[in-house]
Structures are given as C-alpha cells and as structure tokens.
Amino acid sequence: MQRNIRVLGIFFIFLAVALLLNLTYIQVFGQKGLEENPANSRRLIREYSVERGSILTSDGQIAAQSRKTDGAYEYVRSYAQGGLLSHLLGYDSPQFGRSGLELQYNEYLLGRKPSRGWVDEMTKNVEKGYDLRITVDSGVQMAAAQALGARKGAVVAIDPRDGSLLACYSWPTFNPNLLVGQEVDAQGSLKADGQMRSYSQDSSSPLLNRATMGLFTPGSSFKILTASAGIESGFGPETVYDCPGIWPVGGSRVVNYGSPPKAFGSIDMDSALTLSVNTYFAQLAYNMGAGRLVDAAEAFGMNETIPLDYPGVEASSIPEADKMDSIELAWTGAGQGELLLTPLQMAIIGCAVANRGTIMLPHLMKDIRNGDEILERFETRPWKSPISSSTALSVLSMMVDVVENGTGSGAAIEGITVAGKTGTAEVQGKANHAWFVGIAPAENPQVVVAVLVENGGGGGAVAAPIAKQIMEAALK
C-alpha cells in the first residue's frame, strides 16, 4: 500500500516539475511566438490602441497616418495618396499583417524604437509612435506615375550622390485603404477580405512591386555594364571590332537589329553604344571572358540582395561563369541570355557611372522624428566601388552620345546634358520589354532614372520619353 502511495507521489511530483518547465519555456522562450501569433487578439488590440506614427515624404506630404475609430481596434491606418506610394508603404492590417515600410519600420512607428529610458519603459505605456520621413519626393513620384500611365512597368529614381530613392513606382498598383478598413458588407463579411482576394487573383499582379521584385531581361541597357567591364579589363573605348549584321559564334549567331540585320563595319565602343550594336558587345564579352564579365556584374551587386531598407527586394542574376558557353556569353554581353534584373538594379548600375565609380548605399529612410525632434537620421555611406573614376567618366561620355546622337534622343532635355542607354529586351512569345537608364545633368549628376515598360515594345522610343519627364521633375 505504501509503495503505491510512493509511486503516486513521485508521479505527481513529475507532473509538477513538467508543468513548471513548460511554463518556464513558454514565458522565456515561447513568449515571442505567442506574442506574434496572428490568433493573439490581445496583441492586436494592444498594438492598435497605439496611435501609430505617420509616414511623410521628403517634401512633407503625409503618406500614412492613423485615424481613431469606434471599433474593436482604436486606430486604423489611412493612406492619403492611395495607390501612388502603396508598394513602398505597404499596409498595416489587423487581418493581413504588415508589408513594405509599415513592416520594415514597425518598431519605430509603434514607438518601441529607439529605446526609451528604463523608467519610462517600466511606468509609461506608449500612446503614440514615432514618425518616419522617407527620401521619396511626392512630385517626382507623381511624375513617374503620370509618365508611366496605365502601362505595366516600373520606375526607380535615385540621387547618386547619397543613394536616396527619389521615386519608386510600379504599375499596376493597389489601394491600401481597401485592405485596412474594418467595414462589413451586407452579408457581414469584411470588405477587406474580398478586396485582398481580388488583388491576389488578379493576373496583372497589382501587389507585386515590379521596381524592386520584378525580374526582367535587360536587353541593351545592360551594355552599360558590359562596356564598364570591358574598359576595366583592358578593352578601352578605342577598341575596334568589325560588326557585321550577323556574327557567328559557338555554332550559333548573334544578330543586330533590323530586317535584314544591320551591318556597321569597323567601329569603336562609343559608336557601338550610341547605335546599340549587338555584335560589338557580343565580341567584347567573348574576348574578355565569362569570368571577368560575371565578376564585374557581381561587383555591381548582382547575384546578391541589394541592402535597401525595404523588405521586398529580389536579387538580380547572371549565370555562373563556368555554366556559360560561348554563345551564352556573347548574348549576355549584348543584354540577352539568362540575365534577369530588377529596375532597382539597373538604376544602381547607372549610379556607379554617375558617381565616379562609387555606389552609395541605397535607402528610403531619411529620419525618425518625435514631433520636431530628430531621433535617428540615415547615415550616408558607400556600398560598392565596382569601377574606377576614369572608367565611369568614359562610359558617361558614351552615354551622352547615346542621347545626343543615337537611340536615346527621346530623353533629351533642352538646356541640360542628359546621358542614357536604351534597351529592347526580347521576350519569347510576347512583345519586347522597353528599357531606359538616364543620368542628368551629365556634368554634375543629381538623378539616375531606370524605366521599364513590361512588354511595351519600342525600346528607347517608349521608355526614354518617360525617363525625360521624371528627370525634369527631379531637377526642378
């Protein structure tokens, strides 16, 4: 009898220890998981009882702010400019969570960062979060939206001197106000749920930020990088190749534009970039070799994620050198092949040329504020230096000729020297992508613009005028 009591006692002691260990684990190690569990309504009610900080553009326009409600959630988000900044801002929704800058800077907007004094942390609840001011200029962003219009594509504009994004726009866009509201329909269902289903099922992918996440064949706009890599590898701007309309290589061929493909004879790099000659850059890539071309591309940030302070960035890619045969290498030099780049990456390549070979760390945060007090400010710093200053100046000069004497004339601005490069990327079974990378003013670059019109056809004829309007807005 006593033995049975002893066993039962040991069993209950074991249960008590197990319960104690479980509670300890939950409170010490499992707290974060429970706190962030979407089913934790207490967390949501607590977070939405805080007046979330506002997000403002660099010119002081309110992009996002909190408004008080009479519902279960004391505050909900309001987006004053609708779809104009939606891909950047993202949304802050009790149902769908957070995305974009709302996610990236959530701790600041809720007032949890920067840390307060320990007395305040222990004794005072946060009632209002801190404001986030971003680098985007609402005028430049609006110019991007108006210039692109209802064409699928994206625009990125960067100040190459400090890496600040002046505009980042993608179309189709979406209205974040429709995803954060708590209104119900006649059947008692949240309208936001239906709207999210509609956006998610839309074949045009309005929730996709094509500027930072869309991967596209760059076409001839990639020749900026090929030219830079060639010069760095000892093939100077004076390098001359005979450029027939069709250049045979690796049992296949590279062809120029035109029907029949246009022959250009013996030309140097400046003429080849100005006229966008595929057979020149195919030979340049072939002669420098896959290793040098891939190394150069990676020096510009390809095959890695650009460290932008934004949660939705895809890495641009170029194949590994040992996986490229001669025809693949030749077409890669001309901007085709297995290349996939984002508009952000193309703008970054332009920034290296514009800023004497140095890419400044791209960023969206300008500062964090509590009223008029600046709590944190972004510290401008270099990210990469893929090319020398002399190479950058050589490529920049050739890009000026592209606009003044070649395929980029649609980007010319009266009274301002513009540098640029067009791109027409072939897409199997669909219309070509139209690209343009522009730099202005060439003598003292203040803005780099990358434009992609998805399946827009026309190359520079389509994309260059769009870039012109954005550069004009930025320079104002």
Q: What is the pLDDT of residues 41-58, one digit of tens each?
A: 677 878 888 999 999 999
Q: Residue 345: is its pLDDT beyond 80?
A: yes
- Per DSSP, helices labelled H in 220-325 are 223-232, 269-275, 278-288, 290-299
Domain limits, CATH 3.90.1310.10, in the chain: 45-134+174-201
Predicted confidence at residue 118, as pLDDT, reads 54
Instruction: Average the pLDDT over 127-144 and give the result.
Output: 97
Q: pLDDT averaged over the chain?
A: 92
Residue identified by tokens 């070979």 is: 357
Q: Residue 155: is its pLDDT beyond 70?
A: yes
- pLDDT band at residue 125 under the 50/70/90 scheme: low
Domain limits, CATH 3.40.710.10, in the chain: 219-362+383-475
Query: Poorest-confidence range of 121-125, 139-143, 354-358, 395-399?
Result: 121-125
Q: What is the pLDDT of residues 292-313, one digit of tens each?
A: 999 999 999 999 999 999 999 9
SS3 (DSSP) at 265: strand
Q: What is the pLDDT of residues 177-216, one digit of tens each?
A: 999 988 888 888 899 999 999 999 999 999 999 999 999 9
Task: Catalogue the E-assigned strands of 380-418.
Answer: 382-384
Instruction: Average the pLDDT over 259-271 and give the result.
Output: 97
What is the enclosing helix (H) or strand (E) of 437? strand 430-440
Tell me the CATH number for domain 45-134+174-201: 3.90.1310.10
- Paired with 267 in beta bridges are 241
Q: Which of 463, 437, 407 is nearest to 278 (CA)?
A: 407
Largest CA distance in the chain: 107
Q: Percent of the chain beyond pLDDT 70? A: 91
Predicted confidence at residue 27, as pLDDT, reads 57
Q: What is the pLDDT of residues 56-77, one digit of tens each?
A: 999 999 999 999 988 888 899 9
Predicted confidence at residue 447, as pLDDT, reads 98
Q: Residue 158: is its pLDDT beyond 90?
A: yes
219-362+383-475 CATH fold: Beta-lactamase (3.40.710)
Predicted confidence at residue 138, as pLDDT, reads 97
Q: How many residues does the chain have?
A: 476
Beta strand 75-78 pairing with 62-68: antiparallel
